[in-house]
Amino acid sequence: MKRFKQSQELFLSDPFSLSEAAFHWWKLIHKDQCSLATFRDKVNALFQIFPPNPHVFEPRPEQCRTCAVVGNSINLKGSRYGRLIDHHHVIIRINHGRTKGYEADVGRRTTHRVMYPESSVHLDDTTRLILFPFELKDLEWLIRVFTTRFPGPKYNSVKTDITGNINLVTVLNPAFMKYVHESWLDSEGGYPSTGFMTLILALHICGDVDVFGFGADKDGNWSHYFEKLLNKSHKTGEHPGAYEYKVIKELAKKQKIQFYSGK
C-alpha cells in the first residue's frame, strides 16, 4: 500500500522517540502549551509504572493473526455478527463500546480496548488497554487512575480510577496520529477519529483485518448501537468522517481489509 509505512513507530517506548514536527502537530489538537521536555518527563514517569517496551504483534505469513476491529456504529444493531467477531485471535474494541446485552451483534470477547480519558471503561485482567493521548493531561490521568486516583478538576465525566492490568497498558505514539492524518487522510479535517486510527493500527499489527461497526446510519447520523440518538444533527466534529469512510471502502475494494457494513 502506498500510504502504508512499515517503519512507523506505533507506541511510546523506551528509548523515547518523537520528533519536534510530530510533537508540534500533536500539540495543536487541543492547543496544548507543554514543551517537548515536559512531555518527555511525563513519558519517563509513565515508564516507572507501565511496561517501557510494549509487546507488539507483528503479522507473519506462517502464523496469520486475524483481527476484528469493532466500531460502535448503529449499523451493528441487528447484524448478528457476534459469533464471527468472537472467532478472531485479536478483538479490538473502541472507547465505551459495550458487549453485555449486545452479544449476538457484537460478540463477547475483547482482547484490546482503545480509549482516552473521556471514553474510559473498567477492564478485566486479560484485556490490553491502548491509550490514545490527545493532550498532556491524558498521560497524567493514566498515571493517576492506576495509582492515587485522578481528581480531575479539568475533566467532565471522567473516571477517577479504573480497573485493569497494569502490565497490559500501552500508549499510542503521537507520531502515529500524525502519520495517519497525513498519509492516510491527506491532512483532511482537524485530526483522525479514534476508530480510524485503530483500523490503521490493526493493519500494522495484524495479518488479516476484519472491520465492523463503522459508518453513519442511512440518515447520515453517527449514532451508536447501544444508544438512542437524541441529537439528530450530531456529525463527526473535527474528524473527517466521510473521508475516513471513503478510505475504508478503498481498502476493502483492494482487499486489504474485509469490511462488514452491517444493516
* Active-site entry in 88, 181, 224, 239: 239
Find the catalytic residue in 81, 191, 225, 260: 191
Task: Encode pLDDT of 29-62 as tens digits.
Answer: 988 889 999 999 999 999 999 999 887 655 555 5
Active site residue 239: yes
Which residues lie below 8 Å from residue 80, measured CB to CB, with a gap of 6+?
104, 105
Q: Which three cell numbers stand for residue 218?
A: 442511512
Fold classification of 20-52+64-151+164-260 is: sialyltransferase cstii, chain A (3.90.1480)
Residue 181 neighbours by CB distance under 10 Å: 22
Domain ranges of the chain: 20-52+64-151+164-260
- State yes or no: is 191 an active-site residue: yes
C-alpha cell at 111: 482482547
pTM above 0.85, yes or no: yes
Per-residue pLDDT of the chain (263 residues; tens, 9 = 90+): 689 999 999 999 998 889 999 999 999 998 888 999 999 999 999 999 999 988 765 555 556 789 999 999 999 999 999 999 999 999 999 999 999 999 999 999 999 999 999 999 999 999 999 999 999 999 999 999 998 765 655 555 678 889 999 999 999 999 999 999 999 999 999 999 999 999 999 999 998 999 999 987 777 777 888 887 655 544 545 668 889 999 999 999 999 999 998 87
Per-residue DSSP letters for 46-93?
HTTTS-SS------BTTBPPEEEEE--BGGGTT---HHHHHTSSEEEE
